[in-house]
Structure 1
């Protein structure tokens, strides 16, 4: 290794200058990389949430529609699952949540539209909106 002496006067200044300039440059590079990562997370978070909502709705429908033969019951189960996924965590809609949960639970397995209509009426009565 060459050490600074009379033959190489700028040697020590050159490396001390690079070291001083390298740290801010490296810090700037790290900040820039951090900004890029944050931007990517924000940009891709909406589609991930939408996919998760679709998956949650599909799971809700699959669990409730399984043995249901009534077209009316299937329609209301789908609607209730959609409402629960979109609004289920909202405190503003807490009073309506019981009604939609009742629909999903009680309409499951309904064999006729008449039975589905009676179940929907009972859910409405027991969980007033």
Structure 2
């Protein structure tokens, strides 16, 4: 039976250089430092973007929900604010934007679910998806 050392003699030379002990390969410290800096920058920039989206959604909800008594209106305001934040930069969804803006503006202050349903219907009719 042949051993790996007989098939790959160069491998034996690499191992015999360090004796019988195998030592781990170490990356140069400047490469490790660069990777650490890149990971830190990426994690902070991702958190900053997520935080600004959360803040934008919260501002949208705060501006619209303040005097709203209808649970249905509150639910649709939150959903519309989320849609507006997530799709704010998308040109593909530009045709739907008017509907969600209408919901946020017109549902604000709705006092009953019946009123909210009528407002949602009117927004849908005036801004077909």
Instruction: Tell me, yes or no, if structure 1 residue 107 matches structure 2 residue 107.
Output: yes
Tell me the TM-score normalized by structure 1: 0.70
Instruction: Tell me, yes or no, if structure 1 residue 45 matches structure 2 residue 10.
Output: no
Give structure 2 stretches of 5+ with no counterpart.
1-31
Q: CA deviation at 1:43?
A: 2.7
* Larger Rg belongs to: 1
Q: CA deviation at 1:42?
A: 2.0
Q: Please give the secondary structure, in 1, of the residue aligned with 2:85.
A: helix
Q: Please name the residue that 1:55 is paired with.
A: 55
CA RMSD of aligned residues (A): 2.0
Q: CA deviation at 1:45?
A: 1.0
Give structure 1 stretches of 5+ with no counterpart.
1-31
Q: Please name the residue that 1:77 is paired with.
A: 77
Measured in 1, the distance between the counterparts of 2:104 and 2:88 equals 13
How many correspondences in the alignment?
A: 101
Measured in 2, the distance between the counterparts of 1:108 and 1:76 equals 10
- Off by >4 Å, runs of 4+ in structure 1: 32-39
Measured in 2, the distance between the counterparts of 1:56 and 1:66 equals 16
Measured in 1, the distance between the counterparts of 2:35 and 2:71 equals 51
